[in-house]
Amino acid sequence: MIEALVVAILPVAFLTVLFIGGEQFRRRQIDMDGDAPIQRTLFYASKYLIVVLWAAMVLESWGISVSFFNVPAPLEWAAVCVWAIGFVLLFVGRFTLGTSFRIGNPKESTRLRVDGLFRVSRNPMYVGVYSTLLATVLRTMNPVLLLCSAFIVAVHHRIVLAEETHLQNAFGKEYEEYCCRVRRYF
């Protein structure tokens, strides 16, 4: 029961933070929805598919099986730990970005954030997403979810590359120096 609550609360809390943050941004005349850095349909399809995989993990934790195989208990617990770590990265990354957070490339100028988790990874939130996908696959052992996860990671890597181009154009030498100090993921 505790596992199911933890697994369910984390994505709900994160999505709540995103929606409340979006509303606060709107009140301050900030558009949280930036420009899609890659083809728009592919960009948003991958974002929504993340939520589908999160829902599969939640269903599995509540005993509604989406598994094709019996998953050993130690692997289930490992998946829950990876899940929690992923959401910690998502929350800390989101709060560290503050008003620089966007879904896509910002339409206005923002600050280059190089503090907090961004001192050790240029993309801790993407690492967090990848962790939650890994957790879902480990917990369900569902090959369809594995393929969906691979699709999401491939698309998000393209997003990262496109965002790097945007950041290079926006911050120039400062971003170049940051890239020399900090790895793309970990």
Architecture field, domain 2-181:
Up-down Bundle (1.20)
Average pLDDT over residues 32-42: 92
pTM > 0.85: yes or no: yes
Q: What per-residue string of b and e applies to 167-176 under the rule 16 or more CB within 10 Å gives b? A: beeebeeebe
Average pLDDT over residues 55-78: 94
Report how far residue 7's alpha carbon sits from residue 3's, in angstroms, rounded to the nearest whole number. Answer: 6
Say if residue 33's pLDDT is above 90.
no
Q: What is the mean pLDDT of the chain?
A: 95
**In contact, 95 and 19? CB cutoff 8 Å:** no
Give the pLDDT band (50/70/90) at residue 107: confident
